[in-house]
Amino acid sequence: MEEKKQKISQMLSAKYQDIQEKRLNQLTREVIYGPQNRNVNINGKRVKLSDLRYQLADTFENMQSAKKTPSNADFNMMIASSIETLNSETSSEQEYFRWLDDCSEIIKDMNDGFITKDDLDSRNDFLEMSHQREADLMLCLGLYAGSSHPKAAEKAARLRYKLQKLREMRQTIETYTRNEADTKISKEEYEKALPYYKLFKGLRRLPYGQDLSAERKELGIQHEVDYDLLPTYDYFAWLVNETLDEEAKENTFNIKHQEISDKLKDLARRRETFKVNYMILERKKAQFQNN
């Protein structure tokens, strides 16, 4: 199953553990494609689709704020657990502050004179995490956008800020740290990276949502103008289109896979036919020589 549909399906399966597979697949598509005012029937109960999207987005964001991104094998268990522990000490905001700590530490370690293999591993782990978390946050934004829940707009605004900051951290690390280990760093490189280190250290001392706009713009970091971070961006339409694209790719792959399979079978039949014809010719040749 495509990535976004799979995650939504897993969350629904954990929330409604006795739901049948056929109904689960239908409900997953309703969550993605259904209008806000639609009511869906789940195990005999009518649930407003708008509220269901809000619950799924809130659950997913809190779950994914855990220290590490779960493996596929642990995904269902973490969803089930997070539904009951949404008010745990690990929150979306705490994850944001942890990012700031990690980002500052990486900039410092990668520009302190010498880059070790551990320094480089930390850098690349953060960058990999940032891309995965961006995909997660966009999925949550799509679900919030498809909800008329009174808190959905506020939740989405806070997530847009968080995604903006994640992009700023990633841009800085990619630009002002080297992607190599066992190498010395010049004083010039250190001096270029220092203002960015101070920026993220400064943000760490501010409450969630407050910014250092003047300092950030002076350093050329302006992700708040990204087209998909503007309040007018239609995240729900993005979610629908992304899912449709994933479905199209999966269907195309299945078609191509079937075409390849059919061609291989045809080649096998032709090879067997050739072998049979070759054996007949050999027998006729032998008979002719014997005569």
Domain boundaries, the chain: 1-88, 91-233, 235-291
pLDDT in tens, 111-157: 998 999 999 999 999 999 999 888 888 888 888 888 888 888 888 89
Among 4, 50, 6, which residue's Cα sits nearest to residue 40? 50
- The pTM of the full predicted model, rounded to 2 decimals, is 0.71
Q: What is the pLDDT of residue 244?
A: 81
pLDDT mean over 205-225: 85
| Residue 84 CA neighbour count, 13 Å, CB half | 5
Percent of the chain scoring above 70 in pLDDT: 75
Specify whether the CB–CB gap between 121 and 28 falls below 8 A.
Answer: no
Q: What is the pLDDT of residue 226?
A: 85
Question: Which residues are CB-contacts of 64 (< 8 A; sequence separation ≥ 6)?
Answer: 133, 136
Specify whether the CB–CB gap between 164 and 226 falls below 8 A.
Answer: yes
Decide if pLDDT at 276 tops 80: no
The DSSP annotation for 246-257 comes to: HHHHHHHHHHHH
**Structure token digits, residue 254:** 């299945």
Query: What Cα–Cα distance (Å) separates residue 139 from each residue in 107, 236, 237, 243?
Result: 29, 9, 11, 10
pLDDT in tens, 41-89: 888 888 888 888 988 888 787 776 654 444 444 444 444 444 433 333 4
